[in-house]
Amino acid sequence: MKHLLSLLLFSIFAGSTFTFAAERPNILWFVVDDMSANFSCYGEKTIQTPNVDRLAREGTMFSHAFVTAPVCSPCRSALITGMYQTTIGAHHHRSGRGPVKIELPEGVAPVPALFQKAGYYTCIGNGLLNDTQAKGKKAKGKGGGGLGKTDYNFEYDPKIYDGPDWAARKDDQPFFMQVQLGGGKLRGGKSAQAAALSKRAETELGGATKEEDVTLPPYYPRDPVLLEDWAAYLDAVRFTDQHVGKVLARLEKEGLLENTLVIFMTDHGISHARGKQFLYNEGTHVPLVVRGPGIAKGVVRDDLVMQIDLAPLSLAAAGIPIPSAMQGRDILAKDYKPREEVFAARDRCDETVERIRSVRTGQHLYIRNFYPKRPHLQPNAYKDGKTIVQRLRELHTDGKLEPLSEKLLFSPERPAEELYDWKADPWQVKNLAEDPAHKATLEKLRADLDKWIADSGDKGPESDAMYDSDMQEYLGKGNPEVEKNIALMKQWAKEGK
């Protein structure tokens, strides 16, 4: 029976680019919070990131990797299932926390459960032992129990994780490890926290990033508050890279590196006014680097890939059958055909109701705003609590913003459709949707998005009952701003806004 099973698995995965050793490879994911592709291997000039650069040099780097959701919990729910968050009903940020729960559709299982069933030791933590200064993010929300961050929106058994670290596995047992890192969250949301991280960089990294060296997107003013924050963010990238180096050194010391498939990615882009929570490059473009047995070295791939591809890729590497319902693809398979389009969605974030969808080709990005009568920066206690957003609002109120910033960040309404040539316009500042020269492109991508919404089973807006259930986790917590925003969301819904 064992021999027949081995033959079956070989026949299923003979098309993979992996050359399997007799020993099954370990699988290790680095999953980083709130960070764009600001690594030197991706062209960042202000800082150096030698450890992620090493992964790129010794493996394959994907230059056009995108998330299907630009905020933590929907992205992570999609990542861990290999499914669009909109398909499995996990697309509203921090949903299923109230009395009404979210169950995964039949036939969909979290990837760790599949690894565990195949005999892997499954773990989630910081990837380091006895290192109190570099711990990964602790679990928040559902499950976790002191393990690394999960943040899934659906119900699951926390026992899909055997522990926080691979050290507890049996002798010669392969492991599936998720190294969870705080990433951009290290800089916090307040100026005092950004200053503290810069001071730490002076001590631990031999110097902090200088504010005058920072390059901002064109729609952010070169204001001291924003420059301080972005400099601290770049130091957060440096600390992240340092942590990666420590984990790689541990793998080498334990003789595990050469039989470990290492994948580095982030869960969405930088947390900023047009980054995290939004479908522009700043929010959805992420780094993705893969290194390990059988992986081509020093290769840069420019085809469009998504974070949900990590699930089938990793299963294939371990010789585990890929579920037929899984929407991600093994992008390392020999017979893989590059996608022509990738899709993304943004929905409710905390108390703030939203619905945005996008389709991206190798040249164009089409975005549909389902609530165009609402402003880009809707009231949101999480974002409005950040010093950088507060400063932007102050500059707006005082009439001190440039016209581009006013238009993109503070227009009272938004266009229902946006179209960008993102190759020529990397910050997506010129909307081509009303340009007759791009009518054919607009119509095609509009139709393609409609088809994806239908074919993928996009679950769409929340019911009132589900929203009320989830808001129970926010009400009564001594935050009048949240309660005010919830009332505003309900008012706008009644007005059809």
- Write out the chain in H/E/C secondary structure: CHHHHHHHHHHHHCCECCCCCCCCCEEEEEEECCCCCCCHHHCCCCCCCHHHHHHHHCCEEEEEEECCCCCHHHHHHHHCCCCCCCCCCCCCCCCCCCCCCCCCCCCCCCHHHHHHHCCCEEEEECCCCCCCCCCCCECCCCCCCCCECCCCCCCCCHHHCCECCHHHCCCCCCEEEEEEECHHHHHCCCHHHHHHHHHHHHHHCCCCCCHHHCCCCCCCCCCHHHHHHHHHHHHHHHHHHHHHHHHHHHHHHCCCHHHEEEEEEECCCCCCCCCCCCCCHHHHEEEEEEECCCCCCCEEECCEEEHHHHHHHHHHHCCCCCCCCCCCCCCCECCCCCECCEEEEECCECCECCCEEEEECCCEEEEEECCCCCCCCCCCHHHHCCHHHHHHHHHHHCCCCCHHHHHHHHCCCCCCEEEEECCCCCCCCCCCCCCHHHHHHHHHHHHHHHHHHHHCCCCCCCCHHHHHHHHCCCCCCCCHHHHHHHHHHHHHHHCCC
The partner residues of 344 in beta bridges, in order of sequence, read: 358
Q: Are 468 and 486 a contacting pair, CB within 8 Å?
A: no
What the block records as the tokens of 119 is 């005999």
70 and 54 Cβ atoms separated by less than 8 Å: no
Question: Which class for 448: exposed (0-12), middle (13-18), buried (19 or more C-beta within 10 A)?
Answer: middle
Q: What is the pLDDT of residues 170-185, one digit of tens each?
A: 999 999 999 999 999 9
User: What is the reported pLDDT for 12?
Assistant: 38
Calpha distance 269→266 (Å, rounded): 7
Q: Can you give the pLDDT at residue 129? A: 81
Neighbours of 135 (CB within 10 A): 16
Task: Tell me the C-alpha distance between 429 and 405, whole Å.
Answer: 10
94 neighbors 88 (Cβ within 8 angstroms): no
d(CA 318, CA 293): 11
- Per-residue pLDDT in tens (0 to 9) along the chain, 497 residues: 333 333 333 333 333 433 333 479 999 999 999 999 999 999 999 999 999 999 999 999 999 999 999 999 999 999 999 999 999 999 999 999 999 999 999 999 999 999 999 999 999 999 998 654 344 444 444 444 568 999 999 999 999 999 999 999 999 999 999 999 999 999 999 999 999 999 999 999 999 999 999 999 999 999 999 999 999 999 999 999 999 999 999 999 999 999 999 999 999 999 999 999 999 999 999 999 999 999 999 999 999 999 999 999 999 999 999 999 999 999 999 999 999 999 999 999 999 999 999 999 999 999 999 999 999 999 999 999 999 999 999 999 999 999 999 999 999 999 999 999 999 999 999 999 999 999 999 999 999 999 999 999 999 999 999 999 999 988 888 889 999 999 999 999 999 99
pLDDT for res 146: 63
Q: How many CB atoms lie within 10 A of CB 395?
A: 20
Query: Which candidate, 250, 256, 311, places its Cα nearest to that of 31?
Result: 311
Dig out the tokens for 480 from the structure: 């009048």
How far apart CA 427 and CA 253 sit, in angstroms, is 42
Contact 94, 470 (CB under 8 A): yes
Report whether 211 contacts 224 (CB < 8 A).
Answer: yes
Q: How far is CA 215 from CA 2, 222, 421, in A?
A: 58, 9, 22
Taking a C-beta distance cutoff of 8 angstroms, is the pair 278, 45 a contact?
A: no
Check: CB of residue 369 under 8 Å from CB of residue 278.
no
- Hey, where are the domains in the chain? 25-340, 345-494
CATH 2.60.40.3880 fits 25-340, yes or no: no
pLDDT by residue (tens digit) across 341-360?
Answer: 999 999 999 999 999 999 99
d(CA 87, CA 81): 11
pLDDT the model gives residue 477: 83
pLDDT score, position 352:
98
CA angle (204 as vertex; 200, 207 as ends), nearest 5: 75
Q: Tokens standing for 474?
A: 């926010």
